Amino acid sequence: MNMPSLQSNCKTLVTALISTAVCSLPVLADDTELLLVNPAAGAGSTPNVMFILDTSGSMGSNEVTVEPYDSTRTYAGTCDTNSVYWTDVNVTPSCDATNTRFVQKSSFHCNAATNQINGIGSFTSIMVQYRTDLLGAVRSWQDLQAGNNTDPVECQPDSGIHGDGTGGRVYASAVPDLINPWTSSELLEISWGSSPRNVSYTVFDGNYLNWRENPTNVTMSRNAIMRSVVSTVLRSLDNLNVGVMRFNNDDGGVVIQDITDLEANRAQILATVDSLDANGFTPLSETLYESALYWHGLPAHYGENVNEHTTDPDALASSNPAVYQTPVVNACSKNYNVLLTDGEPVLDGDTPALAPTLPGFSTLLERAACTGNNQGDCLDDIAEYMALRDITPDIPGLQNVTTHTIGFNIDLPILRETAEASNGEYFLADDVESLTLALLQIVANINERSMSFVAPAVSVNSFNRTQNLNRLYLTVFGTRTNVHWPGNLKRFELSGDGIIDVNGVPAVNPANGYFFDTAQNFWSPDGPDGNNVQLGGAANQLPDPNQRNLFTNNGVADLTAVSNQLIPSQSGAYTDADFGLTGSAEDPSVEDLIRWMRGEDIRDEDNDPSTDVRYAMGDPLHSQPAAIVYGGTAQDPDLVVFVATNDGYLHAIDGDSGTELWSFVPRELLSNMGRLYFDPQSSFKNYGIDGDIVPVVRDENGNGIVDGNDFVYILFGMRRGGSSYYALDVTDRSNPSLLWNVSFANSGQSWSAPVVARVDVNTGGQNAENAVVIIADGYDPVHDSAAHPSTADGSGAGLRMLDLESGAELWRAGRDGAADLTLPRMTRSIPTRIRTLDITGDGFADRMYAADLGGQIWRFDIRSGQTPANLVTGGVIAQLGAEQASGNLTAPSTTRRFYNTPDVSMFNDPLQDRRFLAISIGSGYRAHPFDQSAADRFFSLRDPDVFRQLEQTDYDNYDIIVDNDLVEVSGRLQVELGPADRGWRFTLPSDQKVLADSLTFNNEVFFVAFSPQSNAQANCLPGAGMNYLYRVSVLNGDPVVNNLDALDPGDADDARREELAQGGIAPSPTILFPSPVDPDCEGAACSPPPIGCVGRECFDPGFVNNPVRTLWSQDGIQ
């Protein structure tokens, strides 16, 4: 809980927070649409907010403040009042002659902005301008252009609603060179959220800017300031239910406005606020007590004994006697009090007797009375009670009340304590702007969510490689509508019962798949951190800024070299542009920005009384961390966790203490730092290092300790953050060095997680170990658009082998003639990890499988010792999506897309007495999880050539498997596949898709299907949608049940799956083999049974044998 001081940078912050509150939901061309848009959430999920406003006599006192903005007046100044000025950073524009970033209002067609600009002067959203390209050749909707003041500007919230204002043309047309650039056809609309139509701008009315630049101080009563600010904020907001309470002289408080829908009843609510006068005393705790009665639907006390002000009849279930009607009717609603006062409690002595009579008071608070007996001393006790008590026990989940407090021209410890007691926030304010900021910060934080998209990081027990260490490292993140999303790394333990916290109790609530509120990770010394992203964890163990080790890559391999250190004394080595700064007066200096990057709280971002340290990490949205053991023992391992974030940092975290050893920011990401510093509103997700961290460990003597000639490398791509790959030498954990970083022409975004294997390439310069890095060419963002491309992808359609030590390219496959292996069918980008196998067990990779976005399954045979031209043969063995055997690229928008890595396993079919390689994979549109246009399926193909290497002529003439060659098993049981059958397929329910890799274990296939549909309880949880864990036989897709013969085929599909509790996109299933808790164990106790986990939810995989290492496949060196 922070106590923000709101005196600095108020104008910029007010503008930013107003934008937060009023702008539309972002349009996102990736899976984060799931986190910020929930189409299933209805009105019942709208937050309830009760404003408890001080109407005591002291509120009549006068203050000198800036005169509130009135859009009906014309203000003199240098800004053109007939124009709107725009910016894409969190800086209010000036209107001098050098600023050409404005558009005439006659060309500004964003109707959604009209009310907001007229009311508060600004608006934020994705915007585009219909203009010529840089060559001046073609007109189309593009990003806004400085100096272009007359070409039309449109915004995303107008899509399908306004358009050119004629009624029919309501979509911005994707067709170039039109006289009227709008269309009535949704099919012809531009792809909002895809570059260059993905930039968020804030526009300011020129009249408003004149008001800002020429402020007039006026004398206003505190009551007038409060009424003006609350009214301004309420005019700017939607999607809230709002009520109002006031003080009742010396007799508690009264609900004068029942909590009701703001948009539908705005005029009535504003009239109620405007009617507030200033007289009487300050019964703070008595009024909060009355709010508790109201929230819980209990008999009124002060509302019944009214002497001056009348309770709103709509707040009552009955009037004689007066009993409140609780406003909480839905499991998804969040509930808040916002208490504003300018003075200490006066004539506020009833609650020491009244508060303990609240139902369950002593049980919940574990005390029979308030902690004090003076005026107002029960204020924090009542707030704590409301935070703990379930308002509606008959509705799933906990419906409680969080209380935020605002000290208006006064700093009261009891207000801070009250906010802390209910997990609320305490703010200080003393004028129009600071009070506006306080209210908008409260509203902006109401809908914060926390999520995790990736599986936990668990290290292999290097002292017994058939087991995992019991330490579990989980990444979490919170969603924002800003550039920066907060993240964290938290430590837990693995036990036979699942995930446990520092207190040895379960950390995860099985009812919803998220942490218990009482959960406390090992790096949260101050108490439970629960689902709060920013509490505890590695983020709160960051060193002091002057002690922090922060590196980049400036051409010297040793990252600790002075030239690579991001330290203030090195600021002269950089330009403003290096950090994405423009050199404007509002920009920080390079030195200050480096201090901020190191963790110095230059902007007082955490709004606490100091500006020393900001404990903040970015979000590890898609990046899987890696935990690497350097030594120690199985019970006390010496390990480091490497975790990457979309702020652009790779953090090296001590696995025991959670302390950061160092961080690395790639030079190419420094240009993001300016936007992260200002942290403006953003309608698209900011990405930095978004790819998995892949460890490469050589333990030459197998002793589990990094010593001698051993080495430790980490590899990672950027995924959504770019197209580069990096390799760092972290053998000396405290002194990292850069091995190499590479990017290639025609590569897409570097989604494909590196795979390290041994391949002997007969070419000069390969390392002595013959260690190679195998990657696919990545993701082409053209697939962010719903329409499947009718031409070959421009990037991402290829495979490469790189030298592990140097990063040099050793071999490449692609459709162009310059590739070592030319494959004309390689027309679609390959974003996934390449499944790499060592079939013969000689330590060298000899087989690869890959899947492209179009549903083509590729197989490759590797012949170590050959030249690049003869090293690999390969081709398509199956086409399960858009690409047909004829090679036709045209496909409907309903085609299946494939974002997952083939799951390859060997099994024996007893009916045929023959071994096959099962290639299992599911389809699903990861870039748009809400899309339900495709008939998605899960496939298990059979490759009969288990050991035989195919020649290129074999591939060129391969009988490609297509959809109809596979046996459909949905709704069926005990299907027998014959020699002519090429595998099986399972058609998912129409709302489900597979967005993560499957896992085959003990002849059973585990995979997770995601549905954007949500039940009522799931809507209340972070992220939308539901997940189902499927468990089927690799042989024929049968459900894994105890008595298959007794199962009715009509129940087969339900038997194949179980609903998971967690929302969002669940990660791939993993099977973990815990180490024994007792180092002196004997017998079976030394081999605990394995545990299956999907993210934080764990399950019994039903396998009791001791694990045994197998050598037929190898995905890396460890």
Q: pLDDT confidence of 30, banded at 50, 70, 90?
A: low
| Whole-number Å distance between alpha carbons of 398 and 239 | 21
Residue 1011: pLDDT over 70: yes
Residue 910: pLDDT over 90: yes
Q: What is the pLDDT of residues 287-336, one digit of tens each?
A: 999 999 999 999 999 987 656 788 999 999 988 889 999 999 877 678 99
C-alpha atoms less than 13 angstroms from C-alpha of 105 in its C-beta half-sphere: 14
Cis peptide before 1049 (omega within 30 of 0): no
Please compute the mean of the pLDDT values over residues 184-191 and round it to a whole number: 83
Please answer whether residues 899 and 853 qualify as being in contact, where contact means their C-beta atoms are separated by less than 8 angstroms: yes
| Whole-number Å distance between alpha carbons of 455 and 494 | 13
Residue 24: pLDDT over 70: no
C-alpha atoms less than 13 angstroms from C-alpha of 18 in its C-beta half-sphere: 30
Looking at the structure, give the CATH architecture of the domain made up of residues 48-64+219-446: 3-Layer(aba) Sandwich (3.40)
pLDDT of residue 1019: 45
| Whole-number Å distance between alpha carbons of 357 and 293 | 11
DSSP string spanning 411-448? --HHHHHHHHHTT--EEEE-SHHHHHHHHHHHHHTTT-
Please compute the mean of the pLDDT values over residues 51-66 and round it to a whole number: 91
- AA identity, residue 167: G
CB atoms within 10 A of CB 331: 20
pLDDT of residue 39: 37
* Residue 288, token pair as written in the block: 């909060």
Better pLDDT: 706 or 377 = 706
Q: Residue 661 to residues 537, 554, 572: CA-CA distances in angstroms? A: 15, 20, 25
* Closest CA relative to residue 103, chosen from 128, 77, 134: 128
Domain locations in the chain as residue ranges: 48-64+219-446, 83-213, 451-709+727-732
Residue 1017: pLDDT over 50: no
Please compute the mean of the pLDDT values over residues 899-918 and round it to a whole number: 96
Residue 611: pLDDT over 60: no
Q: Residue 553 to residues 340, 497, 614, 736: CA-CA distances in angstroms? A: 50, 44, 24, 11
In which element (H, E) is residue 354 found? helix 351-354
Residue 522: pLDDT over 90: yes
Q: What is the pLDDT of residues 456-492, one digit of tens each?
A: 566 554 445 546 778 889 998 888 778 899 999 999 9
Q: State the residue for tokens 């904020």.
A: 233
Residue 52: pLDDT over 70: yes
Please compute the mean of the pLDDT values over residues 219-228 and round it to a whole number: 90
| Whole-number Å distance between alpha carbons of 329 and 1115 | 52
Region at 366 (left for phi over 0; alpha for psi -120 to 50; beta for the rest): left
Q: What is the pLDDT of residues 764-809, one digit of tens each?
A: 889 999 999 999 999 999 888 777 788 899 999 999 999 999 999 9
In which element (H, E) is residue 348 found? none
Please compute the mean of the pLDDT values over residues 183-187 and round it to a whole number: 85
The DSSP symbol for 974 reads S
pLDDT of residue 486: 92
| Whole-number Å distance between alpha carbons of 832 and 995 | 12
State the average pLDDT for the chain.
Answer: 87
Residues 6+ apart with CB under 8 A from 977: 909, 911, 912, 942, 967, 983, 984, 1035, 1036
Which of 93-107, 224-238, 496-510, 1097-1111 has the lowest average pLDDT? Answer: 1097-1111
pLDDT of residue 1018: 43
Q: State the residue for tokens 């694990």.
A: 1107
C-alpha atoms less than 13 angstroms from C-alpha of 908 in its C-beta half-sphere: 3
Q: What is the pLDDT of residues 1022-1078, one digit of tens each?
A: 456 889 999 999 999 999 988 888 899 999 999 999 999 888 888 999 988 888 877
pLDDT of residue 2: 38
* Residue 551, token pair as written in the block: 């590196």
* Closest CA relative to residue 637, chosen from 656, 614, 609: 656
Residue 831: pLDDT over 90: yes
- CB burial class (10 A; 0-12, 13-18, 19+) of residue 57? middle
* Residue 156, token pair as written in the block: 């995303």
